[in-house]
Amino acid sequence: MLGVCYYPEHWPEAWWAKDARRMRELGISFVRIGEFAWSRLEPKRGAFDFGWLDRAMDTLGAAGLKVVLGTPTATPPKWLMDEYPEIAPVDQQGRARGFGSRRHYTFSSEVWWRESARIVEIIAKRYGEHPALDGWQTDNEYGCHDTTQSWGPEDLKAFRRWLRLRYQSTEQLNDAWGNVFWSMEVNSFEDVVLPHLTVTETNPAARLDFWRFQSEQVAAYDKMQCDIIRKHSPGRWITHNFMGFVNDFDHWKVGENLDIASWDSYPIGFVEKFPFSQEEKNRWAETSHPDIAPFHHDLYRGVGRGRFWIMEQQPGPVNWAPWNPVPKPGMVRLWTWEALAHGAEVVSYFRWRQAPFAQEQMHAGLNLPGSDELSVGGREAEIVGREIIETGELPATEQAPVAIVYDYETHWATVIQPQGRDFQYHDLAFRWYEAVRKLGLNVDFVPPGASLDGYKLVLVPSLMMVSDAALQAFSAAQGILLYGPRSGSRTRQFAIPDNLPPGPLAALTGARLTQVSSLRPGIEDAVAGTVSGAAIRWREYVETDGEVLARFGNGDPALTGKGGHHYLACWPDQSLLQQTLTYLAAKAGLETVVLPDHIRLRRRGGVTFAFNYGTEVWSSPAVGKVILGEVNVKPQTVVAWRE
C-alpha cells in the first residue's frame, strides 16, 4: 500500500479536497499529517484552534484516505520556549540551541514532559476516535539533528537522579567508573558533572552511562506519549519514524513501545552520510548503494517485531546532504518495490507537494512546488500504484536464514573509545550485511539477547558488552556463529574483563586476547588459510584452544572456530570478509549465489525480487511466473517471480 506525508496547513483550504482526490487516483491509501502543527493548533497558551484540523481530517477521510496523525512535539512553539527557556537543548560546547528550526527540546526537562503530556492528551482526546484516524506517529525522528544528548543544567539534574538510583552510593559509583584514576572521586552525587568541556578526554565509563541515561530518556518519553494515546484512542496503532544511520539511542527499546516500527528512507541522501570512499560515493550518487535502504528495512522490521512501514520515502532530490543529485529515472519506483519486497506494509512518500517556502524548498515532492503537476517521482509513484493492484497480495515475510545481532551500546562504546579513528560500528555492521547480501541471502536483525532459534548463520559484527541474556542466546544457538573484533572486550562498566577479551565469550570461542593494534589507512596485515585477504583498520592478538582456520603473516590466529562458534580477530578487508561469510554460509548448509555488486535479491515467501542498481542489463534466473518487470532486468528496474 502507498501513503504520503501531507501538510494541509501549508496550502489553501480550497485545495484540500482536490489534493485528497488526486491522492486516491494515484493509488494512495494513507496520509500522515500534523507532526509539526503545534503553532496552528495552539497559537497561544490554552487558545486552541482545532477547526482547520477537524476539517482536514474530515476532507481526507471523505476521500477514502486513512489518516496517520503525528503528535506535534518535534516543534514546540515560540510562546512555550519563551515561557520555559529551560526546555531548549544545550550542545556539547554548553551553548543553548535556539528557536527557529525544530527538535529544540531536551528530554531531561520536567516542564517539557508536562507540556508534551498536555498537548498529546488534548490531541489524543479530540481525534482518538475520529473515523478517518488509522494510527499515530509519536513526535518526529527522535535523535535527528543530534538531539538525543543535551548538555545543560536540566540534563545534569536528571543525570544525577539517574545515577543515584542506579548506584545508591558514591562508593559504588566511584568504583564502577574507576574514579580513583586521576583523582576523579566524588563525595556526593551533587559532585558529579557532565562528561564534557574537560582539558583532555573524560572518563569513558561516565560517558557510556551518560549515553545510556539519555537513551533511556528517549524510550521513556516515547512511552509516556504512547500511554496517553492508548488511553484515548482504543484500537489504533502507534509508530515512530526512525532514521537511517542514527544510533544515538537504543531503537530496540523504543520499538518495545510501538505496534509498528517505521523509518524515513532517503537512500541517496544517506550515500553522503555514510563513510563510503569517494569512488563509492560517486558510483552510487544517483541510485544509492544497493544495501543502504535494505539494511534499514531489515533492521526496522526487527525493531517492529515483524511489522514496519516506510513513513517517508525520498521522491526526488532532497535538500539536506552536501550534494543532492536527482535520482536516476526509475529509482523512486525501485525503492518502493524494494521496501515492499522486504516486508514494508506501507510506503509513504515525503511529501505530497514541494514547498516553495522555508527550509525545505529544495526538497522534491510528488507534485511540483505549489502546483498540481506530478514530478518525475510522482509519476513513478503512480506507476507503482497501478502495479500493486496488478501483482496482487504478496506472501508473508518469513524468518530469514541469517541473523545479524545489532547493538547500540557497541556503537556508543566505539565512539567513546575508538582506539583507531576509523573503527566505526555502523560501518562494520553495514559491510557484514553487504557481504552476506551479495550471497543472495535474506537477513533479519535481532537485538543482543533475542532467541536465535531457527537461524542457520548468526553474525555478530561486534558486541563489546556481552550481557547474560546475550551469552545465553549464543550458547543456545544451533547455527553457525561468527563474532567480530572487540566482542566481549568490555564489562558493563567499561572495564577490561578480568579474564581478558572476549570476556564472557571465552568459553564458547576458546579465544583469549592479549593485544590489539589499530592500523592506519594503507597499512594491512595479510591473512591466509581456509580463507584469505587482509586485516585493515584493526588487528587483534589472539590465543585459542579451538581450531585455527586462518592466520596472520606471523602465524597468529586470525579466524578461529570452536564447535559452531567462530572468532574473527580483525577488521576484514572485502576479500577476507566475503570469503569468510561464504565459507561459514556453506558450513551452515546455506545455498548461496555470487551476485554482481549492483544486483540484489530478496525473497518474500515464494516470490523472489531482483533489483538492478547498475548500468547494464542483468539476465535474471527468473523461473515460474513473472509477476513484475522483465526477466532481463534493465538498469534501475526490478523483476519479481513466483516459483
Q: Which three cell numbers stand for residue 540?
A: 587483534
Q: Does the annotation mark 543 as catalytic? A: no
Q: Are 535 and 580 in contact (CB under 8 A)?
A: no
Vertex 167, ends 166 and 169: CA angle to 5°? 145
d(C-alpha 617, C-alpha 282), whole Å: 20
Q: Residue 318 CB, nearest distance to ligand GAL (Å)?
A: 5
Report the distance separating Cα 50 and Cα 62, nearest Å: 18
Among residues 352, 354, 351, 349, the alpha carbon closest in space to that of 369 is found at: 354
Separation between Cα atoms, residue 566 and residue 259, nearest integer Å:
36
Q: How far is the CB of 68 from ligand GAL (least distance, A)?
A: 13
Tell me how many degrees the CA angle 572-574-575 measures, rounded to the nearest 5: 95
Length, in residues, of the chain: 643
Q: Which is nearer to ligand GAL, 11 or 320 (CB)?
A: 320
Taking the C-alpha atoms of residue 403 and residue 400, their distance in angstroms, rounded to an integer, is: 7
Distance of closest approach, residue 142 Cβ to ligand GAL, in angstroms:
11
612 carries a ligand binding annotation:
no
Name the residue nearer to ligand GAL (CB basis): 312 or 387.
312
Was 263 annotated as part of a binding site?
Answer: no
Residue 26 CB, shortest distance to ligand GAL, in Å, is 20
Residue of 284, 599, 614 lying closest to 440 (CA atoms):
599
Min dist. Cβ of residue 312 to ligand GAL (A): 6
Q: H-type helices in 348-399, by residue range?
A: 376-391
Sign of the Cα torsion 95, 96, 100, 104 reads: positive
**163: enclosing H helix or E strand:** helix 153-167
Cβ–Cβ < 8 Å for 218, 73: no
333 labelled binding-site residue? no
CB of 71 to ligand GAL, least distance (A): 13
Q: Which is nearer to ligand GAL, 302 or 317 (CB)?
A: 317
Residue 312 annotated to the active site: yes
Q: How far is the CB of 6 from ligand GAL (least distance, A)?
A: 12
Which candidate in 42, 115, 141, 409 is catalytic?
Answer: 141
Q: Give the bridge partners for 570, in sequence order.
A: 539
Cα distance between residue 332 and residue 312, in whole Å: 12
Cell of 63: 476521500
Cα torsion 263, 269, 273, 276: sign: positive
Please give the residue ranges that form the binding site for ligand GAL (CB under 6 A).
140-141, 144, 264, 266, 312, 318, 320, 350, 360, 363
Nine cell digits for residue 342:
522486504
**Nearest residue (CB) to ligand GAL, 369 versus 529:** 369
Closer of 319 and 632 to ligand GAL (Cβ): 319
Measured from the CB of residue 323, what is the shortest distance to ligand GAL in angstroms?
Answer: 14
Is residue 325 left, alpha or beta, with left meaning phi > 0 and alpha meaning psi from -120 to 50? beta
Q: Find the helix or strand (DSSP H, E) in which 123 lies.
A: helix 110-127
Q: Point out the catalytic residue in the list 35, 154, 312, 387.
A: 312
Which of 358/396 has CB closer to ligand GAL?
358
Nearest one of 428, 490, 489, 438 to 459, comparing CA atoms: 428
Cα 617 to Cα 627: distance, rounded to the nearest angstrom: 19
For ligand GAL, the closer CB: 140 or 580: 140
For residue 561, what is its C-alpha cell? 572456530
Give the three cell numbers for residue 37. Answer: 502543527
Between 314 and 509, whose beta carbon lies closer to ligand GAL? 314
Q: ∠ CA(483), CA(485), CA(486), 5° rounding?
A: 105
3-state helix, strand, coil in the chain (%, to 5): 35, 20, 45
Closer CB to ligand GAL, 292 or 450, in the complex: 292
Shortest Å, Cβ 198 to ligand GAL? 32
> How many Cα atoms sit within 13 Å of 564 on the Cβ side?
17
Give ∠ CA 104-105-106 in degrees, rounded to 5.
Answer: 140
The catalytic residues are: 141, 312
Query: Binding site membership for substrate: which residues?
Result: 102, 140, 320
Residue ranges for the known binding site are 102, 140, 320
